[in-house]
Amino acid sequence: MGGVRDCVLSDGTVWLSRPVAADADTVVDCCREPSIAEWTVVPVPYRRADAMGFLSDVVAPGWAGRSPVWAVRTAAGGPVVGMLGLDARSDDGAAEIGFWLAATARGRGLMTRSVRLACDFGFATGGLALTRIEWRAFVGNVASAAVARRAGFHYEGYLRRAGLQRGVRRDSWIAARLRTDPPGPALDWPPLTSG
């Protein structure tokens, strides 16, 4: 199947748009935050060349295929405060969602809004027409888990050494939302801790 049309998604509070070269320096600043490096697979140290490589090697082919990546902004054309992507490279009706948010933008529900917008697009017949969107995070990333739960993802389990971060295998949590699931909070999550 071909690529997806470049599109901007917004609910009037957050805007999701394709990241561009002009965003590179802001992406570098965000990805140098220790909390982002702790829970993602971004290179450490993160350099401008890494941001440019992300734009050319991940973002461009993602939009050309079935894996759109959006910059999260708090105004149309505003600076990047986060990143969100749907990895649906195969055509089996499933995708994995991934996201990060700068520390200065946390605590306002921006990522939950962004995930809901991306899921709406992912499930729409005019979007990716997905059946399932999966979320995974390294065990301990309770902030990401809270976003997934609020966005309607149902907890599915604990995966031993399922994630790879800079050469080290880590335990992961997994949850998913189906097209038929309501977008509101999922209430079937066990208590999760940071350890």
Distance CA 85, CA 168 (A): 23
SS3 54: helix
SS3 72: strand
The strand ranges marked E within 34-121 are 69-73, 80-87, 94-101
Check pLDDT > 90 for residue 91: no
Distance CA 23, CA 181 (A): 34
Check pLDDT > 70 for residue 45: yes
Q: Which fold has domain 9-178?
A: Aminopeptidase (3.40.630)
Is the whole model's pTM more than 0.75, yes or no?
Answer: yes
Q: Return phi, psi of residue 128, to 5°.
A: -100, -10
Report pLDDT for 92: 86
Mean pLDDT of 49-71: 95
As a whole number, the mean pLDDT across the chain is: 94
Confidence of residue 182 (pLDDT cuts 50, 70, 90): confident
Report pLDDT for 193: 73
| DSSP for 144-194, written as a single string | HHHHHHHTTPEEEEEEEEEEEETTEEEEEEEEEEETTS-SS----PPP---
CB 172 within 8 A of CB 159: yes
Distance CA 68, CA 65 (A): 8
Q: Which two tokens stand for residue 51?
A: 């941001």
Report pLDDT for 124: 95
Distance CA 156, CA 189 (A): 9
Check pLDDT > 90 for residue 194: no
Confidence of residue 3 (pLDDT cuts 50, 70, 90): low
pLDDT in tens, 115-173: 999 999 999 999 999 999 999 999 999 999 999 999 999 999 999 999 999 999 999 99
Report pLDDT for 2: 59
Report pLDDT for 129: 94
Radius of gyration over every alpha carbon of the chain, rounded to an integer in angstroms: 16
Check pLDDT > 60 for residue 195: no
Q: Which residues contact 167 (CB under 8 A, 6 or more apart)?
A: none
Mean pLDDT of 3-20: 92
SS3 content of the chain, % helix, strand, coil (to 5): 30, 30, 40
Distance CA 142, CA 146 (A): 6
